[in-house]
Structure 1
C-alpha cells in the first residue's frame, strides 16, 4: 500500500471530536439510544469529514450543483486509488456501473445472475443485512460457517457450493472482503481457493469490498477481481466506510472480463439511484483524501492495540478476534453467559430491536451499545460486535463500564 509522505500527514481524525460534539449529531448511531448510552454499534465513525470531501461538497452546494449524477469520474478515481493502494491495475472503468450503494448493487446483480429460489452462499457469521437482502430478492441464504480461526473454511465452502449447485440453477456466493464482523482480511491464497471452488461448482461470486480501504498494518487487501479464476465475478465498493459517508449514497459495481455483459443488464434507470452529492463526495475522497485516510488508519491501529489492552484489564474473560481490517472488533463473550434471550439464527439486521445476549446485557448494565452477535448467523451467538472507530477516551470509558457491569 502506498502511503502519503510525512509532510502531507494530518492529525488523528479520531481525536478531533468530543463526546458533547458527537451527541449533537442526528444520525442513527446517536439517536437510537438515550444520551447516557455510549454507542459503539452501527458502522459510523466518530470523525469529522476529510477536508477534501468537505471542500468538494461546499463547492457543489455553493454552485447549486445538486442535479443527477453523470460520467465516470467516480470509477476513474477508484481505479487510481486501487493502483496506488493495492497495486492493482485491472479495474476497467468500462466494466463498472455506479449504483446507489453496495447492498442495492448486490441485490441488482443477484437478480441478474441468479433465479428466484436459488441458493446464495454466505460465510457466517457475516454482515447481517446479507440475509435480508438475499431473502428480499427471493433467493435462499445457505451458510458455509467460518472456521474456528474465524477465517474462510475451504471444506465448508466446498460442501456448500456443491449443495447449492445441486439444488439451484444459478447459485452464487456473497463474499465479504474484508470480512464483517470479524475484521479478517482474506489472503490472496484464500481467495484463489474461493475462485477455484466457485469455478468447479459453477457458482458466481459477488464480493462486497466496502471495507477494502480500511486494512490495518500487518495485512494486505487483495481485490477479488485480481485473483485468477475470478473473471466471471463481481465486486462492489465505495468510500462509505473509510470516509464515513453512509449518508451520501453512491457505490461502484465492477465486473470481471466474463461478467461485463451481465453488468450492462442493470437497468439504466438505476443510474439515478446514487446521490449526485454522494458521487462528488466519494470521488473527492478517493482522489484527494489519502493523507486523511493514512492518519485514520494510524488512529485505528492505535485503538486496536488499546482495545486489546483494555479488554485484558477489564474483561479478561472476553476473547477478541484480532481484527486485521475495518474498525470492528468481534468479541467472544460466551464465558460471560449463558444468555437465555439469545436466538441462534439470523435474518434480522443489527438495530435496537435485535438486541439480545451479551449486547443486551452490556446495554442494560453498562449503558454501552454494541451489535448483537446472533444477527450475524451461525457462529454469532454469545458474541458482540464493537465499533472502535471512536476516540481513545470514549473507548476507555466504554470498556471500563463494561468491566464494572460484569465484575461489580
Structure 2
C-alpha cells in the first residue's frame, strides 16, 4: 500500500517584527511579512484548523494579492482546495508553488497528493520522479504506483535498486514475489537472483527465492544445485539441509541424512516439491536398507495434512511395484486410516496386495465392506468371492460371485475371472457339472479376447 506522508507543519514565530527563515524550509516555516499579509496568512491557518476551508482560501487570496510571488501562500491555497476536493484548483495552486520554488519537495508532494487522490497515475509517476531527486526513499512510492499500473518491469528494476542501496524491506519482498510468480518474469528473476548471489553470497533470501523459482518451474535439479551452494555459504540454513541430506545419503551416513531430512520435512519455509523429492530419495534408500523403515514411517507423519499428494498411498504403490506386498499393505492401510477408508483406488490396490500376499481373511472382510459402499462395482464382488473360495466358504463365494457377475460390463478379463472363481466355488460344493460349465465359459472368453 502506498505510504502517504504526513506533512509536519512547524512554525518559528519570533516576538516583534523579525523572523528567521532557513534554506529549504518546510512550507509553513514562514517569515513574518507586512502586518496585513501576516494577519491574512494567520487567519487562513486559523480557519483551516477549524476546517473552514472556504474562508481560509479567501484569506490566502488576499496574501497572494499582497505578494504575488509567494510560493508558501500558493502551497497553502493548494492544501485548502485539496481538503475541499477541488482537485483542479488544488493542482493549479501546487504547480504555481513549484514554479516559484522548484527545489522545495513539499510543493511537489502537494501535486503528488492530488494525483494520487484522483488516480492520475501518469502524473503521480512524473511527480514522484522529481521528488526522488530530493529524497530517494520516495522511490518506494514509485514502486507502489508501478505495481498498481502493472508496470512490473520498471517495478522490478526499482525494487532491485532500492534493495541494493537501502537493504530489503518486507513490502518490496511482497511486490517482488508477486512479479516473479508470473511465468513471464521468472527468467528475468532468475538472472537477477544469480547476479545478487554473486554480489552478496551471504544473503540467504536470494538463494531461497532462486530455489523457489526453479522449483515452481519444475527445475528441481537446479534448485538442488542452489541449495548445495547455500549449504557451502550458510551451513546453518534450513534450506542448506536439502543439499546436505543428499550428500549424507550418497555417503551412506544414514544418521546425518535422517537428521537433515527431518529438518527439511518440518520446515515451514521449504517448498512441498522439495519435501516430496526428499522423501522419495529416502524411500529408495530404505528399500535397500530396511533397518531404517521406522524412520520412514516417522517421516510420513509430516505429510498427514498434505492435500496435494497421498504420501502413504504413493509409498504403498512403490512397494507394490517391487512385489513387496506386505509393505504395500501396511502403507495402503495407513492411508485409508488417515484419509477416507472408502477411497476406491486405494481399496482396489489393497485388495490386490492382500491377494498376492495370500492374506485372505482381511481380503474377504475388506471386499465385503466395500460391496456395501459400492454395490454396483463388480471388482469388489470378485475379490470377495476369491477370498471366500480360499477360506473354503464356497457357498458364500458362489452367492457373492453370482451377484457381482451381473455388474460386469465390457471387461472380458474380469468376466473370465468371475467364471473361474464360480467354477472353483462349485468345485468346492461338489458340483462337477457346474464347475466344468463355468471353466468352459472362462476359456471361451479368454479365446475371444485373444
Select the structure that is richer in strand. Answer: 1
- Mark yes or no: TM-score above 0.5: no
**Shorter-chain TM-score: what band?**
under 0.3
Larger % of helix: which? 2
TM-score (norm 1): 0.19
Answer with 1 or 2: which has the greater Rg: 2
Q: Which has the higher contact order (CA 8 A, sep 6+)?
A: 1
